[in-house]
């Protein structure tokens, strides 16, 4: 009995110091209670458009920065060994003014990196505390080519006039079970975070944007464990249209067959 008490106390101390509780169950599962992620900041991205000397400023979308719960590298190592979890999975959703909820996409953040030397099997574990990405109007989200048009596609002419970070009315944190064999299907494709990661917010961006976090196995392309909602969400209550005189009747130059598939890439 004394031995059991001696082992349990250091584990509890480590967990509390990281502001979470980690409870290994067996060789292929664990329980964990994490603090909810939060929104660090959100910024409206301006877009200068128009032809000639007639330049107007509208909105391209928003830049989002998120705070993620911290897990020690020792626990990440144990989590990976038990369940093969190697990434965070962020689910981004949009709730329209009518209450319809749409999944804009899933973003993955690698928590494990292998040694660049092919002969080495050593893994490096990353405690990721922050991440960021963009949510663009459709006119800029589809491809970098669309983003470079002097006049936006789809007659886009909207300006985001107001934006705020609101607190969600959710329950307290609770423990979640993560098992090696768990299978949770994704409704959209997942995309690994990158410098130019962008999601398509639609032709209108008025609405609320929510974020959820889960453990992910990138090799098997599956979520492992329940989603944990973030503490807050982004609200865009208003947007207005702006007349861009120099863009009336504008038609973008079509791609040649040679470049059509190389340059045009939809984002999920």
61 neighbors 197 (Cβ within 8 angstroms) = no
> What does the pLDDT look like over 4-47, one tens digit per residue?
333 333 333 333 335 899 999 999 999 999 999 999 999 999 99
DSSP, collapsed to helix, strand or coil, labels residue 145 as helix
> What does the pLDDT look like over 61-114, one tens digit per residue?
999 999 999 999 999 999 999 999 999 999 999 999 889 999 999 999 999 987
Residue range 244-261: mean pLDDT, rounded: 68
CA 166/CA 175 separation, integer angstroms: 24
What's this model's pTM, rounded to 2 decimal places?
0.83
> What does the pLDDT look like over 208-245, one tens digit per residue?
999 999 999 998 889 999 999 999 999 999 999 999 99
Q: In what order do the strands lie in the sheet with 21-26?
A: 21-26, 29-33, 176-179
What does DSSP assign to residue 35?
P
> What does the pLDDT look like over 105-147, one tens digit per residue?
999 999 998 765 555 578 889 899 999 999 999 999 988 888 8
């Amino acid at each position: 009995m004394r031995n059991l008490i001696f082992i349990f106390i250091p584990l509890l101390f480590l967990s509390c110091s990281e502001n979470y509780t980690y409870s290994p169950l067996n060789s292929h599962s664990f329980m964990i209670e994490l603090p909810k992620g939060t929104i660090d900041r959100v910024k409206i991205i301006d877009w200068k458009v128009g032809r000639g000397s007639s330049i107007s400023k509208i909105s391209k979308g928003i830049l989002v920065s998120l705070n993620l719960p911290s897990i020690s590298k020792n626990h990440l190592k144990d989590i990976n060994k038990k369940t093969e979890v190697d990434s965070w999975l962020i689910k981004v959703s949009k709730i329209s003014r009518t209450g319809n909820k749409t999944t804009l996409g899933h973003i993955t953040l690698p928590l494990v990196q292998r040694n660049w030397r092919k002969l080495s099997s050593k893994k490096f574990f990353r405690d990721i505390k922050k991440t960021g990405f963009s949510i663009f109007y459709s006119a800029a989200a589809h491809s970098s080519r669309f983003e470079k048009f002097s006049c936006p596609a789809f007659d886009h002419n909207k300006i985001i006039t107001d934006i705020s970070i609101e607190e969600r009315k959710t329950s307290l944190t609770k423990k979640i079970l993560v098992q090696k064999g768990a299978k949770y299907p994704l409704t959209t494709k997942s995309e690994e975070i990158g410098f130019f990661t962008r999601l398509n917010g639609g032709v209108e961006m008025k609405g609320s944007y929510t974020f959820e976090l889960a453990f992910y196995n990138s090799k098997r392309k599956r979520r492992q464990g329940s989603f944990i909602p973030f503490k807050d969400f982004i609200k865009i209550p208003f947007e207005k249209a702006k007349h861009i005189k120099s863009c009336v009747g504008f038609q973008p130059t079509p791609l040649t067959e040679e470049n059509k598939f190389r340059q045009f890439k939809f984002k999920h």
